[in-house]
Amino acid sequence: MIFSVGGALLGLLALSLPVGVVLFLLGFGVDYFYSPFPLIRGLGERVWSSSDSGLLIAIPFFVLLGEFLVRAGIAERTYRALDSWFSWLPGGLIHANIGTATMFSATSGSSVATAATVATVAMPQAEKLGYDQRLFAGAIAAGGTLGIMIPPSINLIIYGFLTETSIPRLFLAGLIPGLLLAVGFMVITAILCKLYPSLGGPSRSASWGERFSGLKHLVPLLALFGVVIGSIYAGWATPTESAAIGVAMAALIAAANRGLTLKVIIDSLIGTVRTTAMVMFVIVGAYFLNYTLGAAGLGRELSALLDNLGLGPYQTLFVIIALYIVLGFFIETMALMIATIPIVVPVVVGLGFDPIWFGILVIVLVEMALITPPVGLNLYVVQAARAKGRFSDVMIGAFPYVVGMFIMILALILFPQLALFLPGL
């Protein structure tokens, strides 16, 4: 059953069907071919139970928060401020791409939204200043992946919802790995541009006065991050309540920058509805599929398969990692998480691994899927923002950062405290 369901999943996705539709069709197929009971009679209850959690309200709030900041023009001011601080490094403006992506990751919670925001602001600068188009675009795609690692993260909320794991502890666990990835991306950029100076643009420097005057554009985002995350750990608000506070504060920031027009509000609400509807459709479809797979005994079959391999805990972990890497080539990241986590996490926990640590490991693997073809969404988002050039350029430019993610995976395995230190406090 494992291989037939996996083959059907890849086949249906190859037909370019919506991910939510694919998950429902697989659920109906598993019910029809593998279950002795009519599981479809439980569809209504599954749909309701998968969408009645108050925790999920945080998703549209965090999406709306990011929409306000993106559409109000906050990104461009942030980009200019970071440019004045990082442009002297080898690689120049590429570091501002990564820095801006990191800043917006700490507010938007979405990788695709982060990549789209930075790409829209940064890509016009690449050709004008003579940067290598491939590395410049690849850095934006890779930096955008930080949106699902650095809290608040929509994907971490979904992981916590599916595994009944503490969302605040997951947020804390993602902070150090997320910041280390951002620093790692900048180190990779600096090394490449030092070895091959033609990859980076001209070295530029700004006066200290320009740098400090630009800090006023960074303060609102840092304050927003502090309020949203700080309210959770101070015990003043739940993740959902902190998301609502963040939306109100983002609206105030947009208004202070004279960007909160009626059109911005309407476009932000429409964008939020579209994104939330997509996410919820995938969640409900995956919930029904997992229900049918569980009833049909796939979990037991998977456990038996792993037991029959005779592997130790870490060997089994590497098999699961390899599985995520391969599936990430073909399956959209949100669907990949929702379809696999309820099946894989019990196996991993049974092997003695911490579910919070594994959640961060999965996020790194999902980040990798965002910048590996053929389904890497961030690659397409960045390509869409380019005036010209081939899609393969973005793929090639993102490759060095994929290597950086592999290093982070090994670091998390060798040093689990990278993810567990802050939650342990």
Q: How many CB atoms lie within 10 A of CB 37?
A: 10
Per-residue pLDDT of the chain (425 residues; tens, 9 = 90+): 656 666 776 677 667 677 677 778 888 887 777 777 777 777 777 777 767 777 778 888 888 887 887 788 777 778 778 888 887 788 878 888 888 888 877 776 667 777 777 777 777 777 777 788 888 888 888 888 887 888 878 888 889 988 889 888 999 999 999 999 999 999 999 999 888 888 876 667 777 777 787 778 788 888 888 888 888 887 788 888 888 998 999 899 888 888 888 888 998 899 888 878 877 887 787 778 777 777 776 666 766 776 677 778 898 899 899 988 888 887 777 778 877 888 888 888 988 999 999 999 999 998 898 888 766 778 887 887 776 778 788 888 899 999 999 999 999 999 999 999 999 88
Q: How far apart are CA 53 and CA 73, in angstroms?
A: 33
What is the residue range of 122's domain?
2-424
Rg of the chain, C-alpha, whole Å: 21
Structural domains in the chain (count): 1
The pTM is what? 0.81
Crossing angle of the two packed helices 313-328 and 333-350, in degrees rounded to 10: 170
**CA nearest neighbour of 361 among 414, 400, 312:** 414
> Tokens at residue 94, please?
């590429």
> In this predicted structure, what is the pLDDT of residue 387?
61
